[in-house]
Amino acid sequence: MSYTGDVVVGGPTQLRVLDEIEIRKVAVGPMTNNAYLLTCRREGAQLLVDPADEPERLLDLVQEGSATARLDDVVVTHRHADHHRALPSVVAVTGADVSAGAPDADAIAATSGVVVDRRLHDGDTLAVGHVTLEVIALAGHTPGSVALVYREPAHAPTPGRAHLFTGDSLFPGGVGHTHGDETLFAQLFDDVTTRLFDRFDDATWVYPGHGADTTLGAERPHLAEWRARGW
């Protein structure tokens, strides 16, 4: 089955196999959150993005990527509880480290009861085996929201395609919710514009925290519309 990014709660995993890494996507309820498992094909290291809910389903996902159920790191993209309800169970079973944006780390720890081992800042890197992910801070939806970017190896003269895991900061059709706060919207819109759209090309694939995937090319023509409407 070719990867589309279309998943439903209770449905099967979507799998994308790249040269260096495998990306698995599932939806978990009750708020139809997306969770992503990244597996280094060479070393078997694994990282889970947003342990949102249904810990048994997420632990099954980890085992889909590794017969030994290895999980090295869990990244929580932001402090909202619907993105880390399964964190205590997943960490208790796997012993994985936990990483989150520094401004959100204390709130995540207080809500989940799980210590955040690494506080992430813009430009930090995370290793998944021999694969490197870069942290991109996107303040606005929450103060410490982060995205992760993985870039495929370049094949000259073509740069490698980028893959963005954006949490609730960027979706098909707009940036994340800022609850009508003009200042927060401006911060998020500016961060998304300068740190994502100005940096990465149209082929860049976007894996959001809810719903369908998209590309920067599909969304780029609408940036002026988003700014004008203020959400």
pLDDT value, residue 154: 86
The CATH code belonging to domain 14-229 is: 3.60.15.10
49, pLDDT greater than 90 = yes
With contact defined as beta carbons under 8 Å apart, do 11 and 37 qualify? no
Which pLDDT tens digit goes with each residue over 169-190? 999 999 999 999 999 999 999 9
Q: What is the pTM of this model?
A: 0.97
Tell me, what's the pLDDT at 156? Answer: 65
Taking only the tens place, the pLDDT of each residue in 56-103 is 999 999 999 998 889 999 999 999 999 999 999 999 999 999 999 999
Residue 207 scores a pLDDT above 90: yes
Average pLDDT over residues 196-209: 98
pLDDT 10s digits, 112-155: 999 999 999 999 999 999 999 999 999 999 999 999 999 999 87
